Structure 1
Amino acid sequence: MHYAQYKHQDPALVGEILKTFPFAAILVNGTKWPAVAQAPMTYRRGETSAGAVEFHLAKANPIADDLAQGAPITIHVQGLGTSISPAWYTA
């Protein structure tokens, strides 16, 4: 089964989600292997209209090198009992 891609486009909503559920998974398709790390995050309005998600990882974290090289990432925020509503997708 194929699910349509979904990502939030509203920076204010992303900020509110991270205020409510600040612990998230960082997914990266690294140069050696796909990897996931978890970290607390904050949202900062800033230089771009989208703002920025900020987090800290130790240099020894296996994904740190990939992030330093600019690898694209996906942030997965999951709160208590969360799910994605089909109403969020256009038909």
Structure 2
Amino acid sequence: MPGRTRSTPHPHPEAADCSVLSAVDPRRGGAPTMDAFTAGLLQRIKATQSDLSKARETGDDYLADVEQAELEDLQRLAAEHGVPVSAA
């Protein structure tokens, strides 16, 4: 609500600035590393693409539809969070 202040401090005040959520690797000249969300999302996309291919190869139309829907959801989530996804 506008005008209200929080009576207790946020448990993770640094979370308000998303830039601090990505780690920095000094071995890479201070370049940001991939955060856990991005890595997990990309891993799920890769696994879903593989599962979709297997479903198509075996002729399982229902499973292919399920995997296609899952892939579309993951790609939408990636786009909403600015995670680049290369075309398969």
Question: Is the structural similarity TM-score above 0.5?
Answer: no
TM-score bin, normalised by smaller chain: under 0.3
**TM (normalized to structure 2)?**
0.23
Larger fraction in strand: 1
**TM (normalized to structure 1)?**
0.23
Determine which structure has more spread, i.e. the larger CA radius of gyration.
Answer: 2
Q: Determine which structure has greater relative contact order: mean sequence separation of CA pairs < 8 Å that are 6+ residues apart, divided by chain length.
A: 1
